């Protein structure tokens, strides 16, 4: 049996990694084979050559999608929290994986993300020490038909986990 590829897309600090880790723990407790492929961690392993321009972001998404698909074909459910701002790159992963691709839009509004600012990116952008921040001065193309929408500013992590796990049945 194939596993799912659960692709969590959204702005920086939207809560993608937190929710992905909580879903991974829940599925693992249920006895499922699970792998977390965090965007930042995978960048270090597979994409050290890539930057944050559009082509490089798309290539990053493509490589993660390749690895996620390999694992899913062997029954592993793979959680991929990756900003992945461009629709066409996400759709290419969907096409590769097929019907077991589950797109989760972590739809936290930019104002809430900027307030959380887990990595200090929003502060750096405001201070003028970085540019190209997704959702601020770089594009984010919202999913048109995601399988799940998770508005973390209005929903607990537990409720988000329930929604996503329900979509995997």
Report the residue from 25, 45, 95, 137 that binds a second copy according to the rule CB under 8 A. Answer: 45
Element (H, E) at 123: helix 121-127
Q: Which of 2, 13, 17, 84 is an active site residue?
A: 84
Report the residue from 48, 127, 145, 166 that binds a second copy according to the rule CB under 8 A. Answer: 48
Report the residue from 18, 28, 52, 76 that binds a second copy according to the rule CB under 8 A. Answer: 76
Count each helix (H run) and each strand (E run) in the chain, helices first.
7, 5
Asked whether 62 and 93 are in contact (CB, 8 A), the reply is: yes
Report the residue from 53, 54, 55, 66 that binds a second copy according to the rule CB under 8 A. Answer: 66
Closest approach, Cβ 17 to a second copy, in A, equals 18
- Count of residues engaged in binding a second copy, rule: CB under 8 A: 16
Determine if 67 is a binding residue for a second copy (CB under 8 A).
Answer: yes
Determine if 59 is a binding residue for a second copy (CB under 8 A).
Answer: yes
Element (H, E) at 6: strand 5-9
Closest approach, Cβ 70 to a second copy, in A, equals 6
Query: What pairing do the DSSP bridges indicate for beta strands 148-150 and 34-36?
Result: unpaired
Give the Cα separation of 135 and 21 in Å (integer): 23
Asked whether 104 and 147 are in contact (CB, 8 A), the reply is: yes
Instruction: Respond yes or no: is residue 84 known to be catalytic.
Output: yes
Residues with a known catalytic role: 84
């Amino acid at each position: 049996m194939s596993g799912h590829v659960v692709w969590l897309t959204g702005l920086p600090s939207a809560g993608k990694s937190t929710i992905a880790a909580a879903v991974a723990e829940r599925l693992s407790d249920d006895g499922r084979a699970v792998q977390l492929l965090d965007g930042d961690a995978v960048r270090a392993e597979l994409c050290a050559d890539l930057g944050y321009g559009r082509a490089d972001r798309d290539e990053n998404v493509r490589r993660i999608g390749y690895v996620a698909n390999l694992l899913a074909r062997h029954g592993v459910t793979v959680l991929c929290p990756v900003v992945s701002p461009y629709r066409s790159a996400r759709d290419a992963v969907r096409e590769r994986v097929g019907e077991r691709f589950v797109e989760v839009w972590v739809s936290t509004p930019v104002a809430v993300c900027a307030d959380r600012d887990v990595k200090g990116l929003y502060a750096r952008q405001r201070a003028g020490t970085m540019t190209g921040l997704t959702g601020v001065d770089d594009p984010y193309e919202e999913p048109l038909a995601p399988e799940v929408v998770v508005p973390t500013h209005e929903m607990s992590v537990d409720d988000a986990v329930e929604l996503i796990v329900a979509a995997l049945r």
